[in-house]
Amino acid sequence: MSDEGERVLDDELCVAACERCPALVDSRSRIVNGVGPVDADLLFVGEGPGATEDERGEPFVGRSGDVLDEALRDAGLARSDVRITNCVRCRPPENRDPSAEELANCRGYLDAEIDRLDPELVVTLGKVPSEHLLDRSVGITGESGEVVDARIAGTPRRVLLSVHPAATLYDRSQREGFFETIARAAELAGVTEGSDGQSRLGEF
Ligand code: URA
Q: Ligand 1 centroid vs 54 CA: distance in angstroms?
A: 10
Could you report the per-residue pLDDT of 92-116, keeping only the tens digit for each? 999 899 999 999 999 999 999 999 9
- The CA–CA distances, whole Å, from 163 to 3, 65, 104 equal 34, 13, 22
- C-alpha distances (whole Å) from 191 to each of 34, 85, 121 are 20, 18, 11
The atom of ligand 1 lying closest to the CA of 86 is 4
Judge contact between 162 and 124, C-beta under 8 A.
yes
Atom number in ligand 1 closest to CA 84:
6
pTM of the model: 0.92
Q: What is the tens place of the pLDDT at every residue in 33-73?
A: 999 999 999 999 999 999 999 999 999 999 999 999 999 99
Whether the CB of 53 sits within 6 Å of ligand 1: yes
Could you tell me if the CB of 64 is within 6 A of ligand 1? yes
